């Protein structure tokens, strides 16, 4: 920026103060981060001119310039304006970082690690987003700002995040809350659940109000937009070694040079549509593969169950088919016999109608019997067909029952494995307790032997004491006798 001095040869003190104030104000709001397609633009705000007119003949011109500078300073010093500008800048930087990371990762075609520059810049931008508008907590060491507090609460809303939180707390090299928050972001990205966790956190704004200001990024619409953009990172495979990385002392500085537009970057917009189409196709194919794999597993289980039941059902169907065939053959035979009888009766009636009246009645009776037998056979055939339909229905119900029993069998096998493990553990504890009891019994036997030996020694000592007392008495009596003898 060029030197900001008035055109007069000898600047007045008022002119110097106005120029200095204007330069400070322009420094605070000189640039705004915005996006031009897929590139970062730092646009300069030249709303006022700091050089006076070539011929400042009146003092009113300097007063007007002073009013403009003071108005601009008031606008830029407004906390809401500054926070809104910062939110917009961070959201645009997050868009560029996420988009650049996805494109570079797809072009790279391998698993990303912690040394990958676009991935490092993404974590730096996410750290700035989580730190925006963060309230300072007072401790005995002073004030402390850390985004680990809200991230630690995610496990209350999404139980799957409990594994990440426990892993972060168990890492030995992390000593500060900032390092734990950085490790949490990396593990969430590896788990491909960062977008889900951020959405769950943003939806609990009544809890976030304890950690963030009212106009912070996590409390406004920009935070929800960033959480939605993080869904695209699920196509990236990342792998980090958290034990050897020093996350406590890293300095998070955004490298704007990675996103500034240059002459060779105009070709990126042409392939933007192709990359978007490729990403959509990849997501569609992955989702289709998931559904197909689940369907194949279910069908395989059903086939295994049906193969067992079909063996029994085919045998039953074969028996039923044989029965139906025999019934049909019998019905055909009855039809032939009845037709033969009718023809014979007609011939007999033509030859001798008057003489064979009794035979005709018998033939009619026999015909009635045959027709009744035919009806019975047809009823039995209908019953067999109904039984076949019932068997098919029972087969379907049996397939369903087999599937349910197979699921129950899997659960029972798992319970059996748990019981076996518990039995082994109890047997091990029982063996250890038996060994302890044996040791205690041996110790008790040794103590009893020692007590018996001590009792025997005590008896011997008592006997020896009695003998000594007797000897002492005899000695005393002998001494008394010697003393009593006259010399």
Provide the mean pLDDT of the chain. 76
Q: Give the model's pLDDT for residue 17.
A: 47
Burial of 178 (0-12, 13-18, 19+ CB in 10 A): buried
Say which range, 27-31, 157-161, 316-320, has the weakest mean pLDDT: 27-31
CB neighbours of 82 closer than 8 A, spacing ≥ 6? 28, 76
- The helix/strand/coil state of 211 is coil
Of 33-47, 290-304, 309-323, the least confident: 33-47
**Do 33 and 93 contact (CB within 8 A), yes or no?**
yes
pLDDT of residue 170: 86
**pLDDT recorded at residue 4:** 34
In the prediction, which pLDDT does 70 show?
59
Residue 277 has a pLDDT of 66
Buried b (16+ CB within 10 A) or exposed e, 373-406: ebeebeeebeebeeebeeeeeebeebbeebbeee
Report pLDDT for 250. Answer: 74
Task: Provide the pLDDT for residue 458.
Answer: 92
The pLDDT of residue 18: 43
pLDDT digits (tens, 9 = 90+) for 78-92: 677 888 888 888 888
Confidence grade of residue 66 (pLDDT, cut at 50, 70, 90): low
pLDDT value of residue 51: 43
More confident residue, 278 or 122: 122
Residue 348, pLDDT score: 65
8 Å CB contact between 65 and 14? no
Q: How far is CA 438 from the centre of its chain?
A: 50
Whole-number Å distance between alpha carbons of 463 and 457: 10
pLDDT surpassing 60 at residue 240: yes
Query: What is the pLDDT at residue 16?
Result: 54
Interval 391-447: pLDDT, tens: 888 888 888 888 888 888 888 888 888 888 888 888 898 888 888 899 988 999 989
Name 319's Cβ contacts closer than 8 Å, sequence gap at least 6. none
Query: Quick one: tokens of 203?
Result: 């939806």
Do 247 and 219 meet the contact criterion of CB atoms below 8 Å apart? no
Instruction: Give the Cα separation of 121 and 340 in Å (integer).
Output: 101
Q: Name the nearest CA neighbour of 317 among 410, 246, 384.
A: 384
Burial of 417 (0-12, 13-18, 19+ CB in 10 A): exposed
| Mean pLDDT of the region 290-313 | 81
In the block, which residue shows the tokens 């569609």? Answer: 284
Higher per-residue pLDDT: 22 or 344:
344
What is the per-residue pLDDT across 102-145, written as a single tens digit (0 to 9) for each? 888 888 877 888 788 888 889 889 988 988 888 876 554 445 66
Q: Is the dihedral of CA 50, 53, 55, 60 positive or negative?
A: negative
Q: Is the pLDDT of residue 60 over 50?
A: no
Mean of pLDDT values over 191-200: 89
Spatial contact of 108 and 57, defined as CB atoms under 8 Å apart: no
Tokens 């800048």 -> residue:
89
pLDDT (0 to 100) of residue 301: 82
Left, alpha or beta for 351 (phi > 0: left; psi -120 to 50: alpha)?
alpha
Which of the two residues, 15 and 235, has the higher pLDDT score? Answer: 235
């Amino acid at each position: 920026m060029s030197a900001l001095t008035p055109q007069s040869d000898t600047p007045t003190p008022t002119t110097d103060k106005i120029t200095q104030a204007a330069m400070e104000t322009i420094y605070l709001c000189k640039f705004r981060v915005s996006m031009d397609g897929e590139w970062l633009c730092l646009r300069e705000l030249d709303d006022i001119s700091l050089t006076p007119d070539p011929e400042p003949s009146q003092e009113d011109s300097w007063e007007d310039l002073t009013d403009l500078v003071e108005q601009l300073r008031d606008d830029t010093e407004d906390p809401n304006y500054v926070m809104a500008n910062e939110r917009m800048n961070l959201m645009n930087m997050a868009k560029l970082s996420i988009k650049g990371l996805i494109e570079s990762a797809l072009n790279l075609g391998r698993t990303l690690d912690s040394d990958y520059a676009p991935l490092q810049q993404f974590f730096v931008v996410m750290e700035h987003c989580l730190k925006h508008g963060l309230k300072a907590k007072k401790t005995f060491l002073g004030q402390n700002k850390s985004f680990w507090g809200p991230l630690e609460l995610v496990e209350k809303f999404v139980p799957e995040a409990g594994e990440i939180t426990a892993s972060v707390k168990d890492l030995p090299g992390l000593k500060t809350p900032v390092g734990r928050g950085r490790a949490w972001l990396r593990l969430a990205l590896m788990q491909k659940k960062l977008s889900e966790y951020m959405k769950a956190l943003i939806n609990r704004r009544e809890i976030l109000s304890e950690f963030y200001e009212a106009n912070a990024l996590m409390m406004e619409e920009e935070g929800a937009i960033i959480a939605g953009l993080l869904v695209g990172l699920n196509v990236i495979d990342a792998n980090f070694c958290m034990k050897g990385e020093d996350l406590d002392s890293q300095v998070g500085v955004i490298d704007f040079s990675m996103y500034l537009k240059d002459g060779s970057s105009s070709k990126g917009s042409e392939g933007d549509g192709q990359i978007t189409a490729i990403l959509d196709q990849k997501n569609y194919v992955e989702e289709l593969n998931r559904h197909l794999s689940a369907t194949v597993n279910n069908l395989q289980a059903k086939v295994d169950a049906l193969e067992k039941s079909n063996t029994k059902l085919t045998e039953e169907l074969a028996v039923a088919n044989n029965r139906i065939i025999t019934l049909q053959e019998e019905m055909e035979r009855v039809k032939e016999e009845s037709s033969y009888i009718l023809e014979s009766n007609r011939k007999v009636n033509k030859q001798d109608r008057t003489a064979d009246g009794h035979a005709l009645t018998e033939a009619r009776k026999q015909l009635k019997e045959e027709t009744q037998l035919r009806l019975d056979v047809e009823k039995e055939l209908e019953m067999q067909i109904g039984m076949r339909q019932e068997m098919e229905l029972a087969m379907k119900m049996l397939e369903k029952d087999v599937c349910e029993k197979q699921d129950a069998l899997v659960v029972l096998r798992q319970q059996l494995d748990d019981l076996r493990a518990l039995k082994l553990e109890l047997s091990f504890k029982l063996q250890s307790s038996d060994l302890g009891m044996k040791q205690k019994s041996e110790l008790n036997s040794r103590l009893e032997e020692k007590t018996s030996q001590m009792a025997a020694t005590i008896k011997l000592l008592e006997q020896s004491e009695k003998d000594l007392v007797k000897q002492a008495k005899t000695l005393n009596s002998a001494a008394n006798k010697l003393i009593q003898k006259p010399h």
